């Protein structure tokens, strides 16, 4: 029994590293590409509703707290760090049958670590995906933000709809 539990934990850790690590690396590579190819503030139209841009977000989602005076860097870095630790705990101790919940947390973790790294090292998050319609721009975002959003939607769907159908 102990041997099986140990293998399950190793498998869970390996899955977490592969999924979260892939998202983290993809996020950092795309941000690096934008920084290398675009000057700060540069915008390039890709489609009539989508631009690539190079912007810095000193705050949280939708630039919340971006002009708070600097304290938000460490606050948001701390929140990201604590959230990452909590997700690692949940991933490793979630029931085996909670596959979608575990997967969603791994996806969120990869995104959280991407933005955590930016805040810790740079003091801001690099955003570059700019969608717009009729002159209205959605706040720019990045791969990490997409992962956090997709993971959160999966987590909510699993807990509201899928888990209740299984009787969990």
Q: Is 118 a catalytic residue?
A: no
Indicate the helix (H) or strand (E) that contains 56.
strand 50-57
Q: Is 27 a catalytic residue?
A: no
Q: Which residues pair with 45 in a beta bridge?
A: 51
On whether the CB atoms of residues 167 and 119 are closer than 8 A, the answer is no
**Sheet architecture: strand order including 50-57:** 43-47, 50-57, 125-133, 136-137
Rounded Cα distance, 157 and 159, in Å: 6
Write down the catalytic residue from 118, 127, 130, 158.
Answer: 127
Q: Which residues pair with 9 in a beta bridge?
A: none
Write down the catalytic residue from 27, 118, 130, 145.
Answer: 145
Catalytic residues: 127, 145
């Amino acid at each position: 029994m102990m041997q099986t539990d140990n293998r399950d934990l190793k498998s869970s850790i390996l899955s977490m590293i592969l999924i979260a690590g892939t998202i983290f690396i993809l996020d950092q590579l795309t941000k690096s590409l934008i920084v290398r190819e675009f000057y700060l503030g540069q915008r390039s139209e890709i489609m009539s509703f989508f631009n690539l841009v190079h912007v810095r977000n000193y705050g949280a989602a939708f630039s919340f707290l971006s002009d708070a005076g600097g304290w938000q860097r460490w606050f948001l870095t701390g929140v990201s760090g604590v959230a990452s630790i909590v997700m690692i705990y949940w991933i490793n101790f979630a029931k085996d049958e909670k596959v979608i919940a575990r997967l969603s947390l791994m996806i969120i973790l990869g995104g959280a670590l991407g933005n955590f790294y930016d805040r810790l090292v740079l003091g801001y998050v690099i955003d570059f995906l700019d969608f717009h319609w009729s002159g209205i721009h959605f706040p720019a975002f990045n791969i990490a933000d997409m992962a956090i959003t997709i993971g959160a939607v999966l987590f909510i769907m699993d807990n509201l709809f899928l888990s209740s159908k299984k009787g969990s």
